[in-house]
């Protein structure tokens, strides 16, 4: 299966962000991608008040009400005949002040087929002055989520869905692998100080210990409110090798996932069946 991770520098103009995201989805599909993944905050990066306003109710995509962000991506999936993991986006919750940070899987001809709400929220006060309190404007999810995704050959593969800061909680990935995940997605908006030291290490560790492909599309560069993100969107294989990394700026990285090679890694080094705890 050919996959792409899209790298964006999202700002606070939803239409402009979606326009660039859709252009890159189309480019990646033309380059052969069957599954493309968008970063966290792909539709909006800006102030929390506006984020709350653009939060959408996420239906199942089959005739239910869809907001502008989801309908735009459902149309993109249709146009390019490609499955889309739609990063993290604000999903209306019961708490008007705190939408969920939700990742969707959208399949061509099927609309939204899976929905994951970010479980671990990024509340930190870093030595460089980075002070983020995600839980102040976001509700936490509670359900580890897997979904089936099919490429052009039509053979379904199990995908585990996570978001950004989740990558620091290996027990979540164990759950997903125990439920059959062969690919995990980690759409992100990593900070620069944590990214430079942790991004590659964490993603490669999750890939190695779980023998999964890791798709990590990321935000890059400067955003409103002085935020700056690390970029370096990655595709990692189950051995931990980096198959592709996006260059600076907006764009995408593409790789072919070889599931037979994954089976060989799992057979040769069966750490998943050597677990004792
Ligand atoms: O706030 C929003 O609008 C959307 N959410 C994000 O950008 C989130 C929370 S602030 N970013 C992260 O989780 C970065 C994690 C990270 O950098 C690390 O684990 O080191």
CATH, residue 134: 3.60.110.10
Give the closest residue to 39 by CA, choosing from 85, 74, 90, 101.
85
Residue 93, pLDDT > 80, answer yes
107 and 157 in contact (C-beta within 8 Å)?
A: no
Residue 183, pLDDT > 70, answer yes
Residue 154's pLDDT band, with cuts at 50, 70 and 90, is confident
- Pocket lining for ligand 1, CB < 6 angstroms: 40-41, 51, 101, 122, 132, 134, 164-165, 168, 189-191, 194, 198
Residues serving a catalytic function are 40, 118, 164
Tell me the two tokens of residue 56.
């959408």
Q: Where are the alpha helices (DSSP H) in 64-163?
A: 68-80
Ligand 1 pocket, mutate which of 54, 124, 135, 189 (most atoms under 8 A from CB): 189
Strand spans (E) along the chain: 2-7, 35-40, 83-91, 100-107, 111-117, 123-125, 131-133, 145-150, 156-161, 183-185, 213-216, 220-222, 228-230, 234-236, 242-245, 251-256
56 and 66 in contact (C-beta within 8 Å)?
A: yes
What's the pLDDT tens digit per position in 54-74? Answer: 999 997 666 677 899 999 999
β-pairing verdict for 251-256 and 242-245: unpaired
Q: What is the number of structural domains in the chain?
A: 1
Strand spans (E) along 126-208: 131-133, 145-150, 156-161, 183-185
- Residue 250 has a CB neighbour count (10 Å cut-off) of 19
Average pLDDT of every residue of the chain: 96
Closest CA to ligand 1's atom 11? 189
Q: What is the mean pLDDT of residues 252-259?
A: 98
R_g of the chain, CA atoms, integer Å: 17
Tell me the two tokens of residue 167.
């990558």
What's the pLDDT tens digit per position in 8-32? Answer: 999 999 999 999 999 999 999 999 9
Closest CA to ligand 1's atom 19? 165
Cα 91 to Cα 94, 138, 139: the distances in Å are 10, 9, 10
Closest CA to ligand 1's atom 14? 190
CA of 122 to the centre of ligand 1 (A): 6
Task: Identify the pLDDT of residue 201.
Answer: 98
Strand spans (E) along 136-194: 145-150, 156-161, 183-185
Q: What is the mean pLDDT of residues 197-209?
A: 98
CA of 268 to the centre of ligand 1 (A): 36
Closest CA to ligand 1's atom 1? 134
Q: Which domain holds residue 17?
A: 2-273
Say how far apart CA 77 and CA 66 lie, in whole Å: 15
The model carries a pTM of: 0.97
């Amino acid at each position: 299966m050919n996959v792409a991770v899209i790298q964006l520098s999202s700002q606070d103009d939803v239409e402009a962000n979606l326009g660039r995201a859709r252009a890159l989805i189309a480019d990646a599909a033309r380059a052969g991608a069957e599954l493309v993944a968008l970063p966290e905050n792909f539709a909006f990066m800006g102030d929390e008040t506006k984020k709350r306003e653009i939060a959408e109710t996420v239906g199942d995509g089959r005739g239910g009400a869809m907001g502008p962000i989801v309908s735009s991506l459902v149309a993109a999936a249709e146009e390019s005949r490609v499955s889309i993991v739609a990063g993290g986006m604000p999903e209306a919750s019961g708490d008007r002040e705190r939408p969920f940070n939700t990742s969707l899987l959208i399949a061509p001809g099927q609309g939204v087929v899976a929905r994951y709400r970010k479980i671990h929220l990024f509340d930190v006060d870093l030595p460089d002055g980075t002070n983020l309190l995600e839980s102040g404007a976001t509700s936490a999810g509670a359900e580890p989520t897997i979904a089936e995704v099919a490429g052009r050959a039509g053979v379904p593969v199990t995908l585990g869905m996570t978001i950004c800061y989740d990558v620091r909680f290996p027990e979540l990935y164990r759950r997903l692998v125990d439920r059959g995940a062969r690919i995990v997605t980690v759409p992100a908006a990593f900070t620069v100080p944590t990214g430079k030291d942790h991004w590659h290490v964490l993603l490669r560790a999750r890939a190695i210990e779980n023998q999964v492909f890791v798709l990590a599309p990321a935000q890059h560069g400067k955003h409103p409110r002085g935020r700056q993100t690390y970029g370096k969107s990655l595709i990692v294989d189950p051995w931990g090798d980096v198959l592709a990394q996006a260059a600076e700026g907006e764009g995408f990285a593409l790789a072919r996932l070889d599931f037979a090679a994954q089976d060989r890694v799992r057979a040769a080094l069966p750490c998943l069946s050597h677990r004792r705890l």
